[in-house]
Structure 1
Amino acid sequence: MRTKIIPDTTEVQGTDDPQLFKNFRRGNFSYFVPLDDGDYMVVLGFLEPDRARKIGERVFDVVANGETKLENFDVLQASRGRYRTAVDKSFTTVVYISSSISFRGWARPLCRISGSGSGSGNRSNRTVKRAPV
């Protein structure tokens, strides 16, 4: 299935960096990122832009390096039913050579992600680099 980046100019709540949420990617897709071996903190930014959606209608899993990190994740439920409200989810993952993160929706509508970031897991470097999709 093909995915595409979709621009969105509607106001975003719940974030200090609304620019991260001006685009989103929809579909079942994966990212493959070459990284040095080590532990990494991954931060994913989500929001539900579609007011026609209800809690339970957009549910998906996030798998990092073969391990399910978010299961049956519902962005609208995580935002307590508030549309256009940013929700960050973070987790750690171990990387050997490269990292993969997959988004798998089980029903229509498909999963959406707006922003992502990663940072080294060591205590001396707590910087998280964030970028739109």
Structure 2
Amino acid sequence: MKRLMILALALLLPTPALAQEAGVPRPNDRGDFMTARVRGVAGYYNNHKWLVTDLMDGIPLNCRRTPNGEVQARLKSGATLTAIFSQGNRDAITMHNGKPWLRVRSINPVYNRDSGICYVRANVNYIVPINQDYVSDVH
């Protein structure tokens, strides 16, 4: 009887909810990111922050005016990028010749240089997503 009362009490008491940590977009087997959106508890959300990787041995990443177009800016390893999503909840990644490209803007805080809106290859050799839960905006 005592066990039954304890079990009933345990079922009636509120239990703490576990916070869900945001995920990040995952690359496919070729290392390509096919979307900049992540499924969460309340549907999909946009992953805005990305990081330029150092897999190019110090060679800056080309940010182009159009996918695979003219180079507009060169981004160094460690630069943070902000994905630019189109209106209507469209993805920031667009396909060109079978390859995904992420539409971004990067502002260098040291030199206060703005790359403008440009495109980078959406592949782990060049960029990785930053988990939104670990980013706080400073205003």
The verdict on a shared fold, with TM-score over 0.5 as the criterion, is no
Q: Which has the higher strand share?
A: 1
Q: Which has the higher helix share?
A: 2
TM range (shorter): 0.3 to 0.5
The two structures have a TM-score, normalised by structure 1, of 0.33
The structure whose Rg is larger is 2
Structure number with higher relative contact order (C-alpha < 8 Å, ≥ 6 residues apart) = 1
The two structures have a TM-score, normalised by structure 2, of 0.32
